[in-house]
Amino acid sequence: MTGIGPLEPGEGTWAREPAEARPAPRPWRRRTLLIPATACAVLAAGAALWITRPRPAPPPELPFPAQTVTVTFLVGRSTAPHRLAFDVRLAVEPGPPLTVTRVSQPYAGMSAESEPRAPFRTAAGSSRVITVTMRVTECGRVPKNAALPFLEVTLRNARAIQTQSFILGPRYTRYLSRALGEACGESTPSSPKHPRRLNS
Amino acid sequence: MRQRSLIAITAALSAGALTLTACGSRDSGDNGSDAKGGTTVTIGIDAPLTGDLSALGLGIKNSVDLAVKNANKKEYVKGVTFKVEAKDDQGQPSSGQQNSTAFVTDKSVLGVVGPLNSSVAESMQKVLDDAKLAQVSPANTGPGLTQGPDWQKKKVRQYKSYFRTATTDAIQGPYAAEYVFNKAKKKKVFVIDDKKTYGAGLAATFTDAFKKLGGKVVGTEHINPDTKDFSAVATKVKNSGADVVYYGGEYPQAGPLTKQIKAAGAKVPLVGGDGIKDDTFFKLGGPAATGDYATSVGAPVETLPSAKQFVADYKAAGYKEAYAAYGGYSYDSAWSIIEAIKKVVDDNDGKVPSDARAKVTAALQNVSFDGVTGKVSFDEYGDATNKQLTVYSVKDGAWKAVESGTYNGS
């Protein structure tokens, strides 16, 4: 082996195969890469769209009954020994219908009832006049000079039952003070008429 | 061709997804105080941010911040970005006055929420009114601030720029008296106050109403709010035979006071106003506070659907401090200013006018909206038309609502 012959190829002596000599990638192979990528992108987009999809707003919560009612003192009707009557307006805001289950007052020495007699329903978005009659059972224990007298009204709607104190303001305060004085014989009754019989 | 179409659809979907994701990120990371262009309008806050009353003050600050963030997020006033500037009054009238002057100097301030204390409000009102700068307090209950010092005989509005969302002690004191006399069946009261505008005023309206109902005042005392030793007063309560104590003042004193009264042997409930209705009261009072009462402005939060959203938003915003007794009222106070600014800007072709302060003050008089605490609007004195009150009692280490009242003086 002394003659010059072709060199045996050693490590790194292989010539690079020309690029054009490589077999061209077949179209199906590119597609196999593209399909999973596309699927991922579509899934991601779908997920994003699903997460951010417009959702129907939850139905509004029903309000508690006391938040839907206004009670306003209107006018005194009559007084008689141990008895007085006055009108209030009960207004109910639009929304769920409301039932008045009780009308009462917090003072010892007297009791209250209403016409219409409780329980009664008042349609939402409407108002009605209620006549409250108070009977004095013990003149020595009535609030003839209360600073902020109130009526207690128990209300019910589809959401809850609540007893709310309705503070009827200075006109009611003055009226109650005068009427209780009259009902307890401390001054002449303002009206000679006999009171209507209510709820009895 | 089919392949190119697939790539185009994928690209479009991905771009859409990215856009949607980006929108979501922007919303969730939105900071209400960040400017988005347009005019920046500042809403000032004055409250005790440090000191004994900071639990209430920080609740006010955070709730106003939340309102501003929501307004900015919704772009509620087109072309206006709101920011807040909170100043600490430490419950001191002099600090409140200095803060007012600073707000007046800053021309971007178009409204101020605060303060907590009626005594601080007295020092702020004139400064702000002279500049026609609107002020809405979520917490002041002293009747004289709106109706004048002679309010029991003749009501006269004091300042056109002053409004409040909380109801007054003209109602709160008598409402407490009605509850104590008729429901709690207590007939002999020992009345204590801290000599401050709020505390003394509230104690006076309670006392007057309690006596009118037939109750007896068996003793009165004034305490120094700078001390925490009330043992001498506690002994007087014990010896008086009172079956209830009424305290006109705030929780930093009321907590130790109830503890010392019970320790002296007088096992009678202490009743106070909104100034003691904070969790710190029973933390300071310990078990002795169980069974004590407080009246506070507004209906219980859990009965107001509008408040539910506020509570959720407040929690989501991650504030460290609780919104406390005046959170809902603070939010509504801030929102009333925002509503007024919206009206002024809308009426001026979407721009803030040069005389905005005067116009915002005028617009505030007519705002009306459904707020956290119910309908928000103001009467001819600047007082809230929504006048609700609730009696709370300490039970199992928490304030529990006992009953609520609604005032309608019309």
Which CATH superfamily hosts domain A65-183? Answer: Immunoglobulins (2.60.40.10)
Q: Tally Cβ neighbours within 10 Å of residue B220.
A: 15
Cβ contact, residue pair B308, A38, below 8 Å: no
Question: Is the minimum CB–CB distance between A187 and chain B shorter than 8 Å?
Answer: no
- Nearest CB among B13, B23, B403 relative to A45 is that of B13
Q: Tally Cβ neighbours within 10 Å of residue A120.
A: 16
The SS3 of residue A19 is: helix
Q: How far apart are the first and last CA of chain B?
A: 78
**CB contacts, 8 Å: A31 with chain B:** 3
Interstrand relation of B109-113 and B369-371 (parallel, antiparallel or unpaired): unpaired
| pLDDT score recorded for residue A25 | 54
Q: Which strands make up the sheet holding B39-47, listed edge to edge?
A: B80-88, B39-47, B109-113, B135-137, B162-164
Cβ contact, residue pair A106, B405, below 8 Å: no
Best probe of the A interface among B10, B153, B183, by most A CBs < 10 A, is: B10
CA-nearest residue to B23 within chain A is A52
| pLDDT score recorded for residue B301 | 77
| pLDDT score recorded for residue A34 | 66
Q: Tally Cβ neighbours within 10 Å of residue B350.
A: 13
Cβ contact, residue pair B405, A61, below 8 Å: no
- Nearest CB among A52, A107, A162 relative to B182 is that of A107
| pLDDT score recorded for residue A26 | 59
| A 90-149 residues inside an 8 A Cβ radius of B | 106-108, 141, 143, 145-149
Q: A65-105 pLDDT, tens per residue?
A: 998 999 999 999 988 899 999 999 999 998 888 999 999 99
Q: Tally Cβ neighbours within 10 Å of residue A10.
A: 7
CA-nearest of B145, B23, B43, B121 to B86 is B43
| pLDDT score recorded for residue B374 | 84
| pLDDT score recorded for residue A61 | 74
Q: A120 vs chain B: nearest CA distance in angstroms?
A: 21
| pLDDT score recorded for residue A195 | 43
Cβ contact, residue pair A147, B404, below 8 Å: no
Kindly tell me the burial class for residue A50, based on how many C-beta atoms sit within 10 Å of its own C-beta (0-12, 13-18, 19 or more).
exposed
CA-nearest residue to B302 within chain A is A64
| pLDDT score recorded for residue A36 | 67
Please, what are the averages of pLDDT over each run of 10 residues along chain B (410 residues)? 48 43 35 59 98 95 98 96 98 97 98 97 98 97 95 93 94 95 96 95 96 96 95 98 97 98 98 95 97 92 83 95 93 98 97 97 96 92 92 96 89
Phi, psi of B287 (to 5 degrees): -60, -25
Domain locations in chain A? 65-183
Cβ contact, residue pair B16, A49, below 8 Å: yes
Q: B98-150 pLDDT, tens per residue?
A: 999 999 999 999 999 999 999 999 999 999 999 999 999 999 999 999 999 99
Kindly tell me the burial class for residue A186, based on how many C-beta atoms sit within 10 Å of its own C-beta (0-12, 13-18, 19 or more).
exposed
Question: Is the minimum CB–CB distance between A36 and chain B shorter than 8 Å?
Answer: no
| pLDDT score recorded for residue A27 | 58
What parts of chain A have a pLDDT lower than 70?
Answer: 1-36, 40, 51-60, 187-200
Structural domains for chain B = 39-167+301-378 (3.40.50.2300), 170-297+391-407 (3.40.50.2300)
Q: Are B122 and B146 in contact (CB under 8 A)?
A: no
Who contacts B366 (Cβ-Cβ below 8 Å, separation ≥6)?
A: B343, B377
CA-nearest of A191, A176, A188 to A144 is A176
CA-nearest of A180, A163, A7 to A85 is A180
CA-nearest residue to A106 within chain B is B182
